Amino acid sequence: MARSGLGKGLGALIGTPTVTARSDVAESGERVHQISLANIVPSTFQPRKDFGREALQELTDSIRQHGIIQPLIVRRAGTRFELIAGERRLRAAQEVGLVSVPAIVRTANDLEVLELSLIENLQRADLNPIEEAQGYARLANEFGMRQEDIALKVGRSRAAVANALRLLDLHPQV
């Protein structure tokens, strides 16, 4: 369940699918495709650095028992697909030995990919404060976004974004 106070969810930033092959339809009405794990590459925009061994093992066990409940989100990257959202699910699927995973294919530029990756992790409520701040810093530094713009995109207050960014100014030992 999404954390209250975050405002916009992933749906506010996501475009339309680009693949029209036979597929299932998600609750949102979007097409869900089975994509080979060998054709999915991780995103360089993933804000999460620590995936937590125990939590990842729990997800792996769940996928082994119930399968993948929520599709991954990917975008085309040449002949392959770049992961936008669902890296924990991807890692767990690899551990289980799945050959393919359900995924929604989106059209998204780099800015949208970073925004989506950050929002997905913020909604999960376990992104650590430094990872959150680093995500905001990337939006500012790589895409020239102001704190106000970042706050609007991720559904946080400008003060929350500013305070998070201040963490990056602290001495590393703090």
82 classed as catalytic:
no
Average pLDDT over residues 51-77: 85
Single-letter amino acid, residue 79: T
pLDDT recorded at residue 17: 35
> Are 56 and 89 contacting, i.e. CB atoms less than 8 angstroms apart?
no
Q: pLDDT over 90 for what percent of the chain?
A: 29
Residue 154 half-sphere exposure toward CB, CA atoms < 13 A: 33
pLDDT category at 10 given cuts 50, 70, 90 is very low
DSSP 17: B
> Is residue 45 classed as helix, strand or coil in its secondary structure?
coil
> Are 75 and 106 contacting, i.e. CB atoms less than 8 angstroms apart?
yes
Q: What is the CA radius of gyration of the chain?
A: 16
Given the residues 87, 112, 115, 132, the one annotated as active site: 87
pLDDT tens-digit readout, 72-94: 999 998 999 999 888 888 989 99
In whole angstroms, give the CA distance from residue 31 to residue 171. 46
**Entry pTM:** 0.59
Domains in the chain, CATH or no CATH each: 21-108 (3.90.1530.30), 128-174 (1.10.10.2830)
